[in-house]
């Protein structure tokens, strides 16, 4: 595990990976997947799976919206496959005979990953390097470390802080765990993430309540109140931070830019950071998602159709939506499932969440007979409670679609909690026949390795696409190299890099065939992912080709969908 963690941190600075740091989280996914392999697949005894009716029914209901969709696209198939693989991991970990030491060692691996993540935050804060393209650049200047999104880093740190707190309360390596908390706590503060701080506070308070450390809880609440009050006062007298806008697609006729453009510098703290804009956007998205759900309350609009149908809702001027980016998620997992799957998918999600709450309640109730929270078998509820930060994050953003770690970590924690529940674990345990067990273990190893490699390759492709788009199509070689290793990727994502390349070649060679192919691809892309910036590019392509009939039709459609956008011209350009 240490070697894999070191590789995850050393490969990017050595320049062995293209892109902007997306793959590092996938490298940590590799570390945790290896831990699962060591515990489940490579055990010398029989292979066991623990199944529960509620999660199985929930996963089946969540998968049903893929059936009544128009087509089974690669993103839809990937979502359903990831859902069932996560269920398989949960079943495997839940059936393990985990001792107190075995569970603690898995917690140690998580804490090691959290400390490594915190170190990358400190690197961005204390030694910002404009040329360090191996780390992702946050648009608002907040350090996101090894994640592409700062709140993903914050909720991951909050989760690991909960695990380290659990280890301290249980008396496991209190010195190293306390040191880890001292490293991760300030890193979480540097992220300046509301959802991260709330998640950390929620999990720490819940663990202290489980351990009945009421005096410590009172002191922590007082210290937190003073700290938050001081931070609020400091922000109120600070100047607003400058904002930056990201370029999504280069316009036709634009000059190519360097693929290694300096990212936003990272100050020690962003002064006067204003979270109100993000909160206002979330409220608008939630209201719009609620409206869309009411139009198809029972079966939704099918899996993978969110962006296409949601754009029609956001155009209502009463909502006041004014952002120029593509909306692929309402920043609330429950509403996302409601829009795409209606009551069917919502019922499935609630079954899974309800099962988790019920297992936590049973584990909490079983603590007293075994001697309380600090007893050898009293830690089950603590592991389940550590899922709270990511669960909270999923209710205000989309971490489950931005980071593989945010899927694997709660599944792993829930599995450890169930495995440590003892007599109240329940469920139906399936044991593989002795003759089949070696083959099934080998299959499990292959599936886990394939999923991990695919995850890392997807991150590599995403980074290469970002390089192609940022360079306006001038630097396409990283994308070609990535596709050579991983041709099974979302064609829409790869097509963005191809579009940037086609526009770049057209600007230099004026090849009409390239312009026509780029126009055709973009017209098809916009039927699934409409956005103002992409419509602007399509308008420029049509205007460059002299196709004024198509230009006027596209302009009318763009003005209808995005009446607020400054990227869409009010009248046809000459």
- Per-residue confidence band for 346, with pLDDT thresholds at 50, 70 and 90: very high
Residue ranges with strand state E in 410-559 = 428-431
Where is the domain boundary, 379, 398, 431? 431
**Which strand (E) or helix (H) includes residue 550?**
helix 548-561
The answer to whether position 283 is within a domain reads no
- Whether residue 503 sits in one domain with residue 411: no
What CA–CA distances, in Å, run from 58 to 12, 16, 18, 64, 158?
39, 41, 38, 10, 27
- Output the pLDDT for position 43: 54
Q: Which domain holds residue 535?
A: 451-562
**Kind of pairing between the strands at 428-431 and 48-51:** antiparallel
The answer to whether position 251 is within a domain reads no
Q: Which residues contact 189 (CB under 8 A, 6 or more apart)?
A: 197
Q: What confidence tens digit (pLDDT) does each residue in 383-431 have? A: 999 999 999 999 998 888 888 788 888 998 999 999 888 777 788 888 8
- Output the pLDDT for position 239: 39
Q: What is the pTM of this model?
A: 0.82
Where is the domain boundary, 431, 461, 477? 431
- Whether residue 489 sits in one domain with residue 545: yes
How far apart, in whole angstroms, are the C-alpha atoms of residue 10 and residue 154? 22
- Whether residue 455 sits in one domain with residue 427: no
- Whether residue 183 sits in one domain with residue 87: yes
- Whether residue 339 sits in one domain with residue 228: yes
Is the confidence at residue 92, as pLDDT, over 80? Answer: yes
Mean pLDDT comparison of 40-49, 261-270, 317-326, highest-scoring range: 317-326
How far apart, in whole angstroms, are the C-alpha atoms of residue 464 and residue 458? 10
Mean pLDDT comparison of 453-462, 463-472, 519-528, highest-scoring range: 519-528
Mean pLDDT comparison of 70-79, 355-364, 492-501, 519-528, highest-scoring range: 355-364
The answer to whether position 83 is within a domain reads yes
List, in sequence order, the alpha helices (H) in 127-240. Answer: 150-169, 174-191, 194-211, 214-236
- Whether residue 484 sits in one domain with residue 383: no
Section 225-242 average pLDDT = 49
Q: What confidence tens digit (pLDDT) does each residue in 273-296 have? A: 445 567 788 888 999 899 999 999
Total structural domains within the chain = 2
Is the confidence at residue 352, as pLDDT, over 80? Answer: yes
The answer to whether position 173 is within a domain reads yes
Is the confidence at residue 234, as pLDDT, over 50? Answer: no
- Whether residue 408 sits in one domain with residue 525: no
521: which 2 tokens? 């691809």
Q: What confidence tens digit (pLDDT) does each residue in 188-211 have? A: 988 888 899 999 999 998 998 888
Where is the domain boundary, 431, 459, 483? 431
- Whether residue 457 sits in one domain with residue 400: no
How far apart, in whole angstroms, are the C-alpha atoms of residue 524 and residue 545? 18
- Output the pLDDT for position 383: 94
- Output the pLDDT for position 267: 34
- Whether residue 79 sits in one domain with residue 166: yes
- Enter the DSSP assignment of 258: -
Q: Which residues contact 158 (CB under 8 A, 6 or more apart)?
A: 188, 196, 197, 199, 200, 203, 389
224: which 2 tokens? 């937190």
How far apart, in whole angstroms, are the C-alpha atoms of residue 517 and residue 530? 18
- Output the pLDDT for position 41: 56
- Whether residue 509 sits in one domain with residue 417: no
Is residue 444 helix, strand or coil? helix
Angle ∠(478,534,519) on CA atoms, nearest 5: 80
Is the confidence at residue 254, as pLDDT, over 60? Answer: no
Is the confidence at residue 15, as pLDDT, over 50? Answer: no
Is the confidence at residue 322, as pLDDT, over 90? Answer: no
Section 123-145 average pLDDT = 65
The answer to whether position 19 is within a domain reads no
* Mean residue pLDDT across the chain: 77
- Per-residue confidence band for 118, with pLDDT thresholds at 50, 70 and 90: confident
The answer to whether position 13 is within a domain reads no
- Whether residue 546 sits in one domain with residue 424: no
The answer to whether position 306 is within a domain reads no
Q: What confidence tens digit (pLDDT) does each residue in 17-57 have? A: 444 444 454 555 555 555 555 555 555 456 788 889 999 99
Is the confidence at residue 163, as pLDDT, over 90? Answer: yes
Angle ∠(361,362,367) on CA atoms, nearest 5: 100
The answer to whether position 352 is within a domain reads yes
527: which 2 tokens? 């039927």
- Whether residue 368 sits in one domain with residue 513: no
């Amino acid at each position: 595990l240490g070697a894999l963690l070191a590789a995850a941190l050393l490969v990017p600075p050595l320049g062995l990976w293209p892109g902007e740091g997306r793959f590092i989280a996938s490298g940590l996914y590799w570390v945790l997947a290896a831990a699962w392999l060591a515990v489940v697949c490579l055990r010398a005894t029989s292979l066991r799976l623990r199944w529960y009716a509620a999660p199985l029914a929930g996963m089946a209901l969540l998968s049903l919206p893929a059936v009544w969709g128009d087509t089974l696209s690669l993103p839809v198939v990937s979502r359903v496959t990831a859902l069932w693989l996560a269920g398989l991991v949960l079943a495997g970990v839940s059936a393990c005979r985990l001792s107190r030491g075995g569970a603690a060692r898995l917690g140690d691996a998580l804490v090691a990953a959290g400390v490594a993540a915190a170190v990358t935050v400190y690197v961005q804060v204390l030694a910002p390097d404009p040329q360090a393209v191996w780390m992702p650049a946050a648009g608002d200047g907040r350090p996101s470390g090894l994640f592409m999104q700062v709140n993903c880093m914050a909720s991951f740190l909050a989760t690991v802080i909960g695990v380290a707190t659990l280890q301290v309360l249980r008396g496991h390596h209190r010195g190293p765990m306390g040191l880890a908390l001292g490293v991760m706590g300030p890193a979480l503060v540097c992220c300046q993430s509301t959802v991260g701080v709330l998640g950390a506070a929620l999990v720490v308070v819940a663990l202290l309540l489980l351990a009945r450390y009421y005096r410590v809880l009172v002191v922590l609440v007082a210290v937190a109140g003073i700290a938050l009050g001081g931070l609020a006062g400091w922000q109120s007298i600070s100047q607003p931070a400058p904002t930056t806008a990201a370029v999504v697609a280069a316009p036709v006729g634009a000059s190519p830019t360097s693929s290694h453009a300096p990212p936003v510098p990272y100050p020690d703290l962003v002064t006067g950071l204003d979270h109100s804009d993000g909160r206002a956007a979330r409220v608008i998205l939630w209201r719009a998602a609620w409206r869309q759900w009411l139009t198809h309350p029972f079966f939704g609009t099918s899996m993978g159709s969110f962006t296409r149908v949601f754009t029609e809702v956001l155009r209502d001027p009463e909502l006041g939506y004014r952002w120029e980016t593509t909306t692929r998620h309402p920043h609330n997992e429950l509403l996302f499932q409601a829009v795409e799957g209606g009551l069917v998918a919502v019922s499935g999600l609630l079954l899974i969440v309800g099962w988790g709450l019920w297992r936590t309640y049973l584990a909490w109730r079983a603590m007293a007979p075994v001697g309380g929270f600090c007893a050898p078998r009293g830690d089950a509820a603590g592991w389940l409670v550590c899922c709270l930060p990511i669960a909270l994050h999923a209710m205000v953003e989309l971490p489950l679609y931005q980071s593989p770690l945010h899927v694997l970590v709660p599944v792993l924690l829930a599995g450890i909690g169930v495995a440590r529940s003892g007599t109240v674990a329940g469920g139906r345990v399936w044991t593989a026949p002795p003759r089949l067990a070696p083959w099934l273990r080998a299959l499990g190893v292959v599936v886990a390795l394939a999923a991990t490699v695919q995850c890392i390759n997807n991150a590599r492709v995403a980074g290469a696409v970002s390089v192609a788009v940022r360079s306006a199509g001038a630097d396409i070689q990283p994308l070609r190299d990535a596709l050579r290793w991983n041709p099974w990727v979302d064609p829409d994502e790869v097509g963005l890099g191809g579009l940037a390349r086609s526009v770049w070649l057209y600007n230099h060679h004026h090849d009409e065939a390239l312009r026509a192919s780029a126009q055709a691809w973009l017209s098809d892309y916009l039927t699934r992912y409409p956005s103002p910036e992409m419509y602007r590019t399509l308008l420029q392509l049509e205007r460059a080709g002299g196709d004024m009939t198509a230009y006027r039709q596209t302009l009318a459609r763009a003005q209808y969908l995005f009446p607020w956008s400054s990227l869409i011209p009010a009248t046809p350009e000459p």
